[in-house]
Structures are given as C-alpha cells and as structure tokens.
Structure 1
Amino acid sequence: MIINRFDTTPTVLNTFIAEIRDVGVQKDAMRFRRNIERIGEVLGYEMSKTLTYREKEITTPLGSKKILGCTDQLVLCSVLRAGLPLHHGILNYFDAAENAFISAYRHHPNNSDDFEVVVKYFAAPSLENKVLVLTDPMLATGKTLENVLNVLKEHGTPKKIHIISVIGSKAGGEKVKEVFPKDTHLWIAAIDDKLSSRGYIVPGLGDAGDLSYGIKL
C-alpha cells in the first residue's frame, strides 16, 4: 500500500484538521461538516494527480485548445453516515463520478470492548475496471474497511482502489495494508499513534458521525 499523509507538511490543510479536533470549534456542526468537506476536496485533488489522462481538443469562442482530460471512471463509495461530508467534498471535484453507499457500524456485545462490524445496507454500480474511491473519515482499527472490501468483491474487480480518510491510527493503517491490494493508495490528512481499549483513535476527534449530524440512539 502507498500511504500519502499530510499532517507533517505545513499547509492550510492543518488549519482544517486543527478545527475539527478542537472541542470548542466542534460545537458548530455546520463548520465541522464544512471542514470535513474541505479536507475531502484537498485530498481528492492530491489523488487526482495519480489518475489517467488523455489529451483532447476543446473549442473556445476564439479558437481551440488541447487539454488533458481524465479518462478514468470513478466510483465514490462512502461509509454511512460519517462519510457523507467527506463524500461531498470529493464529489465537488469529480463531477462525473458514480456513487455508492454502505452502512457499517460497530456492535459491542454486552457493551464490552470487543466489537464486530455490522454491514446492513449497500447500493453501488458495477465496479468492474473502474477506479474505486473508498471514503471513511476515521480509520481506527481498519475492521470497517475490511468488511466493506469483502462486500464490494461481489460487484466487480476495480482497476484501482484509493482510500480517503481524515484521521487514522497507525494500527488502522497496518490493517488496511494487510487486507487491501498492494497498489492501493491511502490518502489521509493525519495519523495518530494510539487506540483506546474500545478501538477509538487517541487523541483523534471523537465520533465524526455524531459531530456532523447529532447523537444517535
């Protein structure tokens, strides 16, 4: 796996990361969602540098111009519900992308630290020979993306897989490296060192879904 992380580079992206982590700023759900969306835009732009392009000619009011256009067909697949703002940010830059959505959540039996990932809903086009972009803002243990990958295998073999996340853990990065194809790219804004006993990223930012859309039952 090729890991592309950006928290060690001084750019405006660090401002967005700082704000989504800050407990004071997090109280503004609209701002939280918008910052996640902007992070998606930045990471989507960086990912675009690895896609396939072909020269084409366009007509302007005063003549013509040859320009490079992307020839890859993208499918953006997001983990509900936390992945929606990130999905929107990436979609802002890839107008023609197809879309897929999957519902995956943690189930802690008897409220124990151990958990399983439950997948209940999936809607997607064919993935055959397309560029699959998986979006999940929090890459904690990697179990969610592992389960998502297992479901996606029934919908065709992608030409290439990209994973876009906001914050991850070192353990989560190692897990996806283990289960995804070797040429998979991970685009991630920041990586933290630790996980809690329940598998949450420390210091992380909390529950991205709750911060975006409110506390769930």
Structure 2
Amino acid sequence: MQLHVANHPLIDHKMTLLRDERTPSPVFRELVAELVNLLTYEATRGLHVEDVQLRTPVSEMTGTRVREPLPLAVPIIRAGLGMLDGFLKLMPNCEVGFVGIRRNEETLQPETYAKRLPDNLAHRQCFVLDPMLATGGSLAATVQFLKDAGASEITAICLVAAPEGVELMQREFPEDDVHVLVAALDERLNDDGYIVPGLGDAGDRLYGVAV
C-alpha cells in the first residue's frame, strides 16, 4: 500500500472549516464535496486513457479520453455516500458500486451488511470513498472485496487518517497496487476508536443522528 498525503493550501483551509464543531451539516456536506473534488483530481493522475482523433475548428488533432472499461467508484455506506457527488463531478461516466459496513462499537471490528459490486473487476480501476481511515477495518475489508473480484488497481480517497489505520492497510496490502490518498494524517486513535483531533463522526455530521 502506498500512502499519499495531499499538500495544498486550499485543502488545508477547507479541512480546518470541516473540523470545526460549529460547522452545520449543510456546510459540512458542501465542504466534503469540495474536498473530494480536489482529491479526485490528484487521485486520477494514473487514469487509463487512450488516443482519439478529432477535428477542432482549426485542424485535425489527437486528443485523449478515458479508456474502457470505465472506472468504478465504491462509496462505503453511509458516510462514503457524502463523498460520491464530489467524485462524480469530475468522473460523471464512472460506474458506482456500494459496500455497507458498520463498526461494532464494542469490538471496533467491521461488520458487512450490504455489498453490490460487479463479479469481474479485472482491468478495472477502482476508487473507494470513505471519509475516515480510523482502525482501517472497513477500508481493508472493502479493498479485499475488490481484489477478490479481480481488481488490481485500487485507490482509496479519505479525508482524515490515523496512523493505526495506515499501519493496518500497509500490513494487509504490502503490494504497490493499493493507494490511499488522504487530506490529512492525524495524531492517533482514542480509546473509543475515534481519530484525534479528527472531525467527529463523519456520518452524523453529514446526515444527523438517525435513531
């Protein structure tokens, strides 16, 4: 696994607003979309493309377009759904799969409750969307689902990561075909498994507390 920490003043500025506990849900959602848009630009540098011939109003030329099979975006429900619009703004033709994973609050281990992915992901580039890389269990499980279906190029886009989650991903996926792009690498996890300083529960801040 290769870790990439985004380094840009606009990302740092928006992350500061995102972290603030006073930021209301509507603004939080807007900031997430903007941050994912910026991170997607960086995450897709290695996108598979092909040449295409076209004519401009002046002359013939060779252009570039995204090559088929189209990439697959995989938000991890529920918080990952808040990242999908920002990703699709740059990749509108991308196909979308879903994985539903929740954390057992007693064991802090991931529990899968939903999965909708293509059976065959050979030669497909996959982009996993998950705001928080905390313990790493949810992201590792999703990446393994994709690899089991044949994916060999997987990039995870996260807003905040803890060193413990990064270490788990590096341990589980020592190969170079898994990339993790984060806006910020934070200090640690607390005893409840939350990232410090973090930004709280991303799902609750996006959508409120649903009980």
TM-score above 0.5: yes
**Is 1:16 the counterpart of 2:10 in the alignment?**
no
Structure 1: distance between partners of 2:79 and 2:206: 7
Residue 62 of structure 1 and its aligned partner are, at CA, apart by 4.6
List gaps (5 residues or longer) in structure 2. Answer: none
TM-score normalised by the chain length of structure 1: 0.89
Q: How does 1:43-192 map to 2 (within 5 A)?
A: 43-71=39-67, 73-108=70-105, 112=106, 114-125=107-118, 126-154=120-148, 156-180=149-173, 182-183=175-176, 184-192=178-186
4+ residue runs over 6 A deviation:
none
Structure 2: distance between partners of 1:53 and 1:181: 27
Structure 2: distance between partners of 1:148 and 1:160: 13
Residue 61 of structure 1 and its aligned partner are, at CA, apart by 4.4
Deviates more, 1:144-153 or 1:86-95: 144-153
Deviates more, 1:120-129 or 1:202-211: 120-129
Residue 39 of structure 1 and its aligned partner are, at CA, apart by 1.1
List gaps (5 residues or longer) in structure 1. Answer: none
Residue 181 of structure 1 and its aligned partner are, at CA, apart by 5.2
Residue 178 of structure 1 and its aligned partner are, at CA, apart by 1.5
**Is 1:3 the counterpart of 2:6 in the alignment?**
no
Residue 206 of structure 1 and its aligned partner are, at CA, apart by 0.3
Residue 60 of structure 1 and its aligned partner are, at CA, apart by 3.5
The amino acid that maps onto 2:64 is L
The amino acid that maps onto 1:12 is L
Structure 1: distance between partners of 2:76 and 2:27: 20
Q: Secondary structure, in 3 states, of the residue corresponding to 2:34?
A: helix
The amino acid that maps onto 1:3 is L
**Is 1:204 the counterpart of 2:201 in the alignment?**
no
Is the 1:34–1:85 Cα contact (8 Å) retained in structure 2? no
Residue 10 of structure 1 and its aligned partner are, at CA, apart by 4.1
The 1:74/1:10 distance shift into structure 2, 3 A limit, reads closer
| Paired positions, count | 208
Is the 2:132–2:159 Cα contact (8 Å) retained in structure 1? yes
Structure 1: distance between partners of 2:166 and 2:155: 13
Structure 1: distance between partners of 2:8 and 2:151: 33
The amino acid that maps onto 1:169 is A
Residue 216 of structure 1 and its aligned partner are, at CA, apart by 2.4
TM-score normalised by the chain length of structure 2: 0.91
Deviations 1:45-87, CA, capped at 9 Å, x for gaps: 1112122222212233454332222225211001111011212
Q: Percent identity at matched positions? A: 28
